[in-house]
Amino acid sequence: MDDFGLLNPAWAGTRAAELTSDSAFGQAMLDVEAAWCRAQIRFGTAPATIDDAVAAASHIGNYDLGAIAAQTPDGANALIPLLSALRDNVSTHQAAAAQYVHRGATSQDIIDTALMLVASRAGEHILTNMKTAVRQLSATATEHAHTVMIGRSLDQHAQPITFGYRVSQWVEALGSASQHFETVVDKLPLQWGGAVGTSTWWVDYFKADQPEADPMELVNRQRDLLAQELNLVSAPVWHANRVPVLQLGQTAFQVTAAAAKLANDVLTAVQAENAELTEPTKPGRGGSSAMPHKNNPVLSIRLKHAAQEASGQLNTLQTGIISNTAERADGGWHTEWSALRGLLRLTGAVSEILVELTDGLEVHTKAMRHNLGIHGNAVFLGRLTQWLAPIVEAHGAAEPGSGKRLVESISTTAMANDDDLAQALVSQLPDGVVTVKAIEKILDPSGYTGGAASIVAEVHSRYRKWSS
């Protein structure tokens, strides 16, 4: 039985699905066991002659994952049946080598470390994609730093912005979330402490073998070699401390949440009544089985789907972690596994989708300009009254504090009658108060975008080096 993702278009067919598959996790467990044997060899606690036998037995393709899964409930984790099969396999190559496999370790050491190994491999994939997506978006933001469009607040037309400014906010969210995730991925910890995290087996071993030495110093040195083999951090034992898992899951979710913001904006912009953006197309994508005229924005839909599912996975992960008890949680620890895998898988899929979406997103500036004009000069009424009211009062055309009401009255009447607003204000205010040219300048949307272009430049500068 395989899960190909037929009910999960967010990640089906992605590289992320491969990197987080059962095969990938099984291989990670084998990689940890093999690395532990190599660490023992390097430290002098195992003979070099076992290396080839262990290496030959450490390929997941040689194992029946269906059979291992069927046996998993008997021990409540997959390492127990896999380890039995691994030892049998190693013995076929060299009988004496099997005794060094898993020596002094426990299931939690292997499973936790294997999950960190999967996270490391998936994390590299995710970060490569996120840097590409941020770089592509930053280029789009720079290109459209002065492309004026209507801003939207509470789903209603607000003040003008630039499309570059909107994209810069996508860049800021995705860039900062990815950097948080990167910080965690760069410090993924090895888990290695034996049955209850105290390294009892190895402490006893070193007390007998090297009684003059500090046994924990030797334990830590051997653990350091294992961390080197796996390219993980040789961290203090965290058997009963699940914060490393929590940090990983939460920062992965930040990436999917940031992507959802972009997706929501694109989904609004591609609607026929807005038509400001178009997703990149390819044959066979976005069609409807019943409505041939449709071009469904499936990339953004998949991003939104992924984020919504990831929210549930994060909740499950957190539920497992808050169920943590004693030196190994009864059920809470088990709850973490699939939830963490799901978060990594979804985040990886999101990163792949973003690369494609941000590379081919089509921008329709004419539609943006058209939508900006839907409410005519009403969009600028607040700016107009704020600027003109004190001038009107200074010229004595209105009592102090009443200039705003006068400007609003003249303006709303002119707009209701579809009159030229600038001409109406000039003609109804005393001579010399204001000119048509000055009013038209206030009504020019390109001058009403605040610091949008500067913000675009700041964001580009902030993430340029990181994403290159």
* Cβ pair 219, 203 in contact under 8 A: yes
Q: What is the dihedral of CA 405, 409, 410, 414, to 10 degrees?
A: 150
Dihedral sign, Cα of residue 287, residue 290, residue 293, residue 299: negative
Give catalytic status of residue 468 as yes or no: no
CA angle 85, 87, 88 (to 5 degrees): 65
- Given 15, 328, 383, 464, which residue is catalytic? 328
Could you tell me which residues come within 8 angstroms of residue 431 by beta carbon, excluding any fewer than 6 positions away?
none
Task: At 205, list the tokens.
Answer: 């071993």
Task: Find, among 34, 98, 111, the residue nearest to 72 by Cα.
Answer: 111
Could you tell me which residues come within 8 angstroms of residue 286 by beta carbon, excluding any fewer than 6 positions away?
279, 294, 295, 296, 297, 298
Distance between CA 353 and CA 11 in Å, rounded?
9
Distance between CA 349 and CA 313 in Å, rounded?
15
Task: At 342, list the tokens.
Answer: 């799901």
For 317, half-sphere exposure in the C-beta direction (CA atoms, 13 angstrom radius) is: 26
What single-letter amino acid sits at 95?
A
* Cβ pair 376, 151 in contact under 8 A: no
Q: Which residues of 428-454 are buried (b: 16+ CB within 10 A; e: fewer)?
A: bbeeebbeeebbeebbebeebbeebbe
Which string of DSSP letters, residue by residue, matches 174-202? HHHHHHHHHHHHTTPBP----TTSS-HHH
- The residue assigned the tokens 């509470």 is 154
Give catalytic status of residue 328 as yes or no: yes
- Given 84, 288, 409, 446, which residue is catalytic? 288
DSSP code of 96? Answer: G
Find the helix or strand (DSSP H, E) in which 441 lies: helix 436-442
Distance between CA 166 and CA 171 in Å, rounded?
9
CA angle 268, 270, 275 (to 5 degrees): 110
Residues tagged active-site:
288, 328
